[in-house]
Amino acid sequence: MSRKTAREVAMKITFARLLGGEAIYNDVLEKSDSEKTPTEEDIAFADKLIDGVQAHSEELDTLINEYAKNWTTERLPKVDLVILRIALYELMHSENPTGAIINEAVALAKRFCDENSYQYINGILGSYVRRED
């Protein structure tokens, strides 16, 4: 498994929890079209994202509301919200390259969101990065 797949699994589990469900890691992984067996590092990375988003959701939502123009977290589509939370958490709490984090968030948005959501997600993440630099 790769970081890309780990992010997708984290997104799906976080989304299920947001809707009040409980996703099981292995079930989500099976449906992710990944032929590779996850390494312990990949599982730990996905778990860190899931737990981090859950622990920091209020802080993340405050940031999203600050950068989202004409939108609030209550109005955002839930998949968009989850992708933004994960990417912002990773930008704030990891040493992973900024460009890779944003590119992966945009790729998830292109795959799982409305056709224009990726532009909006890219804009919010880009605004956050510019302000932090």
Least confident of 29-33, 93-97, 103-107, 126-130: 29-33
Spell out the domains of the chain, with CATH numbers in brackets: 3-132 (1.10.940.10)
Taking alpha carbons only, the member of 125, 109, 126 closest to residue 117 is: 109
Predicted structure pTM score: 0.90
Structure confidence by residue, pLDDT tens digits, 107-116? 999 999 999 9
Q: Show the tokens assigned to 10.
A: 């984290």
Structure confidence by residue, pLDDT tens digits, 39-70? 788 889 999 999 999 999 999 999 999 999 88
Distance CA 6, CA 62 (A): 25
**Residues in Cβ contact with 122 at an 8 Å cutoff, skipping those fewer than 6 apart:** 102, 105, 106, 109
pLDDT value of position 93: 95
How would you class 71 by CB atoms within 10 Å of its CB: exposed for 0-12, middle for 13-18, buried for 19 or more?
middle
